């Protein structure tokens, strides 16, 4: 009987470890990411990330594993001072021409002028869904939490725990939704002074280089992508470890919506769903749907 209890305990522990391995990564950047470019412009200290940009090169990393549904988050400190022309990006993406992608991009500005928090989403290669915000805090003075929550019902962008944007799943109505491709996590710092700051009117001042952005405490509580079988497995609400499929995560709470609406009414500076000139009056179909 004692031997049976020991065997049972071992089975439970192994099963629990398997679930943790499938759904949670608290990343040491050295172990869980690879450099995609700018090898000599990237540093890590005590598990923290340092991305550097100068006139010779920028820098970028990506996760070794891909994810389908869950939450990824990172604390980020943006380039201080005159960051005009620079872009710090933190996003998820699959590959190919019909790729999925969920973006945070931080567009630099001249000293004393606010950053732009730029968000976008691609589904089956279709993007052009930008929403932009001015920060209600100083993103260069300390670290702030940027979280992407993604499940079969909706994608939510959070800043310091407050939702700022939602994109709901209306796939049944012919609107593409990112739910069939695993996405890796990327972080980068690069120059885009042809468009990033005031439409490209303000260029990068290279005498201010090197520009430095920092990241720490990256966490991924997700379903790891194991190929096409994950499409069903990661969306299965009967699997207990698929916490993101719980009805409580299918819709923001009233309190969350109230907080989000305050941010959107006070700090949103661009919404593609209101840009009738851009779309010549034929608006993207999701613009007429409830998102939150």
130 is catalytic: no
- Whether the CB-CB separation of 32 and 164 falls below 8 Å is answered with no
**Pairwise CA distance, residues 105 & 217, whole Å:** 18
Residue 170 burial class via C-beta count within 10 angstroms: exposed 0-12, middle 13-18, buried 19 and up: middle
Given 73, 105, 214, 286, which residue is catalytic? 105
Q: Where do the DSSP E strands lie in the chain?
A: 24-26, 33-37, 42-45, 48-53, 59-63, 67-77, 86-93, 101-107, 116-122, 131-133, 144-150, 154-159, 162-168, 184-191, 211-224, 268-271
Given 73, 101, 214, 286, which residue is catalytic? 101
**Pairwise CA distance, residues 8 & 16, whole Å:** 12
- CB proximity list for 229: less than 8 A, separation 6 or greater: none
Name the helix (H) or strand (E) containing 266: helix 254-267
Residue 52: beta bridge partners?
A: 212
**Pairwise CA distance, residues 208 & 19, whole Å:** 47
| Of 82, 74, 92, 30, the residue nearest 53 (C-alpha) | 82
101 is catalytic: yes
Q: Report, as residue numbers or ranges, the catalytic residues.
A: 101, 105
């Amino acid at each position: 009987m004692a031997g049976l209890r020991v065997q049972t305990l071992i089975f439970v522990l192994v099963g629990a470890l398997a679930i943790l391995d499938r759904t949670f990564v608290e990343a040491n950047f050295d172990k869980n990411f690879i450099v995609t470019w700018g090898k000599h412009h990237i540093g890590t200290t005590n598990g923290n990330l340092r991305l550097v940009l100068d006139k010779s090169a920028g820098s970028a990393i990506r996760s070794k594993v891909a994810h389908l549904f869950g939450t990824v988050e990172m604390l980020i400190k943006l380039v201080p001072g005159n960051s005009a022309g620079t872009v710090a990006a933190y996003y998820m993406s699959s590959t190919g021409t019909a790729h999925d992608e969920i973006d945070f991009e931080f567009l630099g500005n001249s000293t004393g002028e606010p950053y732009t928090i730029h968000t976008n989403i691609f589904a089956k290669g279709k993007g052009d869904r930008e929403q932009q915000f001015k920060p209600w805090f100083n993103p260069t003075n300390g670290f702030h939490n940027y979280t992407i929550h993604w499940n079969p019902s909706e994608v939510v962008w959070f800043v310091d725990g407050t939702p700022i944007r939602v994109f709901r799943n209306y796939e049944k109505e012919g609107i593409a939704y990112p739910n069939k491709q695993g996405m890796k996590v990327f972080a980068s710092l690069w120059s885009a002074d042809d468009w990033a700051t005031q439409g490209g009117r303000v260029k990068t001042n290279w005498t201010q280089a090197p520009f430095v952005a920092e990241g720490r405490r990256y966490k991924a509580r997700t379903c790891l992508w194991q190929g096409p079988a994950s499409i069903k497995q990661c969306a299965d609400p009967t699997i207990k470890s698929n916490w993101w499929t719980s009805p409580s995560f299918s819709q923001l709470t009233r309190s969350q919506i109230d907080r989000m609406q305050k941010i959107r009414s006070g700090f949103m500076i661009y919404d593609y769903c209101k840009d009738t000139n851009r779309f010549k009056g034929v608006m993207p179909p999701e613009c007429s749907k409830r998102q939150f």
